[in-house]
Amino acid sequence: MDASQLAATCAFCDSPLELAAAEAEEPVDAVAPFQLTEAQALQRLRDHLGSQWLAPGYVRKLGRPGELKPVLVPFYVYDATARTDFSCQVGCYWYRTETYTTFENGKAVTRTRQVRETEYTPLSGTHGRTWTNHLVSASKGLPETEANQLEPFDVGAALPYDATLVAGLIAERPTVDHGEAEHTARQELAQREQQAIAGGHLPGDTYRNLQSSTRSQIDAVRLVMLPVWIAAFKLPGKGEALRMLVNGQTGEVVGAVPTSWAKVGVLIAVGLFALLGFFLCFSGCGGLVALVEG
């Protein structure tokens, strides 16, 4: 088994990784303690799985004591200043009065109505913002998309690194290097900047052709371990395990819960029958009406 894999499966669970090994490579700045107990995390997980109506029945009943492992997952935490140049066409609405002809009581009459038009004007401008505590997963075992779903974490709750903070927990070593993580951070910041511009920085009523280029200056980066409860379930007849993650601070549950195709099939069938019934009823009524009128 790959030593970098997230500790959920088995290798790490049975033999907790000592942080001493990780320390030699990359000093950990801070550790956020678990705020959810195992029982609380398990309850969140069971509630989440139980509410997945389209998941196979055995998946909805998963989650027993001892299956969740407390893992401290490494994250790079960035403070950055981002400046973005953007250009777009800003649209401002105006109203045109239009004359039209209509028929009222069999006579042609002329009426007026207000029609909304948009005046587009090109705009070039800038946006700037300081982003604090932007998280990028430092673990190859926890892909960035899954990490983003687990967020937010309260990085402020992290305490300066101390060996007692990781005692008895599985502490994963960072497997994503600085350069790779910074590249991800810059990409994500550029996305956030564009969202911030589109979502509230542009004047006028609407816009089109928004283009932006962001320059991010990394002001600080820290390596912080954040608490995640992890469970890996072997599913019958499947090669890969179902991995479920529970945010150790907020209780947010993340995982790719499989869909039961049998259930989906039944649902589609029921939907089709309902539609068919509806259709029959209507045409039946129509037939009745036709009969009566006849």
77 binds other proteins (CB under 8 A): no
Residue 230 to residue 170: CA distance in whole angstroms: 10
**Only segment of 18-26, 55-63, 91-99, 284-292 that touches other proteins (CB under 8 A):** 91-99
124 binds other proteins (CB under 8 A): yes
153 to 192: interface string for other proteins, x by CB under 8 A: ----------------------------------------
213 binds other proteins (CB under 8 A): no
List b or e across 21-36, with b for residues whose CB sees 16 or more CB atoms inside 10 angstroms. ebeeeeebebbbbbeb
Q: Which of 94, 278, 279, 282 binds other proteins (CB under 8 A)?
A: 94
Cβ distance to other proteins smaller for residue 49 or 202: 202
* Cβ–Cβ < 8 Å for 230, 6: yes
Q: Which of 16, 33, 50, 204 binds other proteins (CB under 8 A)?
A: 204
126 binds other proteins (CB under 8 A): yes
Phi, psi values for residue 260, rounded to 5°: -85, 115
47 binds other proteins (CB under 8 A): no
Q: In the bound complex, what is the minimum distance in angstroms from residue 75's beta carbon to other proteins?
A: 21
Q: In the bound complex, what is the minimum distance in angstroms from residue 200's beta carbon to other proteins?
A: 7
134 binds other proteins (CB under 8 A): no
211 binds other proteins (CB under 8 A): no
Footprint on this chain of other proteins (rule: CB under 8 A):
81, 83, 90, 92-94, 117-119, 121, 123-130, 196, 200-204
